[in-house]
Amino acid sequence: MILKGRAHKFGNDINTDDIIAAKYLVTTDPAELGAKCMETIAPDFAAKVKKGDIIVAGNNFGCGSSREHAPVSIKGAGISCVIAKSFARIFYRNSINIGLPIFETNQADDIKTGDELEVDLVQGEIKNITQNKIYKSEAFAGFMQEIVNAGGLMKWIRRKRV
């Protein structure tokens, strides 16, 4: 599976309140949450995102609370995946659980806002088309690919039970 999109760059320690403000936690609707994604740190973010775009960040992306609303809002905004130098562990798990692919690479700093990226989920390869560079990330294990391809853990479980 290959994901293609334009990079939206953020720094280090982007917490779950930065991703989706607590005042919007009255809904679980992905589209509603997506419309408010990153609002406190980038008010025009949701308006700029085109379906398939990619968030790129520094260290400790998704730190803070364990709310699943954060990756839901990212996915609801139309983001296809997140690339960062590192992720908070609970955010990492929540992302997989809702079917949002995430990739860690030490080379995330090289990627600039607006760069066109191509991400291979199976190979763990990130191609920066704009800069003509290739970065490596760990490929998803087979069962994690199944979960993401199914659209999240609950959908994967339902398929397995049928």
101-155 confidence digits (pLDDT tens)? 999 999 999 999 999 999 998 888 999 999 999 999 877 677 677 677 767 667 7
In which band, very low, low, confident or very high, does the pLDDT at 162 lie, cut at 50, 70 and 90? low
Query: Residue ranges of the alpha helices (H) in 20-88?
Result: 30-34, 45-48, 69-76
Q: Which domain holds residue 80?
A: 2-161
Give the closest residue to 116 by CA, choosing from 2, 4, 3. 4
Instruction: Give the domain CATH number at 91.
Output: 3.20.19.10
**Tens digits of per-residue pLDDT, 45-79?**
999 999 999 999 999 999 998 889 999 999 999 99
- Amino acid occupying residue 105: T
**How many domains is the chain built from?**
1
Q: Which of 159, 39, 49 is nearest to 99 (CA)?
A: 159
